[in-house]
Amino acid sequence: MNIEDNIITAEAGKIFRRKIDGMLFGEEIYLGLTYYLNGVKLETPIQEKPDDFEEIDIEIETEEIN
Render pLDDT for 28-54 as a digit per residue (tens, 0 to 9): 999 999 999 988 999 999 999 999 999
What pLDDT does residue 52 have? 95
DSSP assignment string, 11-66: PTTEEEEETTT--B--SEEE--EEEEETTEEEEEEEE--GGGEEEEE---------
Q: Is the pLDDT of residue 60 over 70?
A: no
Q: Using 50, 70 and 90 to split pLDDT, how confident is the model at 58? A: confident
Q: Is the pLDDT of residue 2 over 80?
A: yes
Return d(Cα 19, Cα 49) in angstroms, integer. 11
What pLDDT does residue 63 have? 62
What pLDDT does residue 38 have? 87
> By the 8 A CB rule, do 10 and 28 touch?
yes
Q: Please state, as a whole number, how many other Cβ atoms lie within 10 Å of the Cβ of residue 52.
A: 16
First and final CA of the chain: distance in angstroms?
A: 37
